[in-house]
Amino acid sequence: MTPQDTRQYAPATERNREPILEILLQVLPGSGTVLEIASGTGEHAVYFASKLKDSIWLPTDANPQARASIIAWTEHFGCSNIYPPLELDVREPVWSVETETVSQWLNTSPIIAIVNINMIHISPWLACLGLMAGAGRILPVGGILYLYGPFKQGGEHTAPSNAAFDEYLRAQNPEWGVRNLDDVVAAAKAEHLTLKQTYQMPANNLSVVFER
């Protein structure tokens, strides 16, 4: 019997992975472990790990089906610089990577950056707050938090397509929605994360880079 293929597909990952990689190559510290929060299908994880050979990629997701997909993509790709996915819900007061066991196996290559793509608008605001709190606890001084997604700027949508997307998200869950960049920056600041740079990305998205 052939094992079930649990790989999931998110078509947007193929469109946005190269522009995101371009930014990651500029902003990530040279080597160390990159903790990916909300890895989803795992397509980004295997792609970025294959391109960032000096780093070790640590994918995570709160959803067990996503973690099964990440495992399947990792097996399919055969990457060596990627850890098995961990269960991690950003709203937890202590993240799985902070437990003694995981901290110990991360000793040789500590977490130097956190990457979070397309999550904070598809989860309650509490998830954004949890993300910032965890990044503030875990990142060393000089560590990087990278966010990607659509954002309002100055309280306004930056494109009609983002406004329509926001409405679509809120119809699915009133706690979801495109976040205002100023609110995200303020939440980060409260956890000692300073906005370093924003980059305009294709399809009216932003890359937002913070430094601990």
Ligand X SMILES: C[S@@+](CC[C@H](N)C(=O)[O-])C[C@H]1O[C@@H](n2cnc3c(N)ncnc32)[C@H](O)[C@@H]1O
The enclosing H or E element of 131 equals: helix 125-138
Question: Which of 79, 191, 174, 85 is CA-nearest to residue 130?
Answer: 191
CB of 172 to ligand X, least distance (A): 11
- Binding map of ligand X across residues 94-123, x = CB under 6 A, - = no contact: -----------------------xxx--xx
40 touches ligand X (CB under 6 A): yes
CB of 178 to ligand X, least distance (A): 13
- Counted residue by residue, the chain has a size of 212
DSSP 74: H
Q: How far is CA 75 from the centre of its chain?
A: 21
The number of residues that bind ligand X (CB under 6 A) is 22
33 touches ligand X (CB under 6 A): no
DSSP 5: -
CB of 108 to ligand X, least distance (A): 25
96/178 Cα distance (integer angstroms): 27
- Binding map of ligand X across residues 146-185, x = CB under 6 A, - = no contact: ----------------------------------------
The span from the first CA to the last CA of the chain, in angstroms, equals 49
Q: At what angle do helices 125-138 and 181-189 cross, to 10 degrees?
A: 40
59 touches ligand X (CB under 6 A): no
134 touches ligand X (CB under 6 A): no
User: Which residues lie near ligand X (CB under 6 A)?
Assistant: 10, 13, 37-41, 44, 61-63, 66, 88-91, 117-119, 122-123, 127
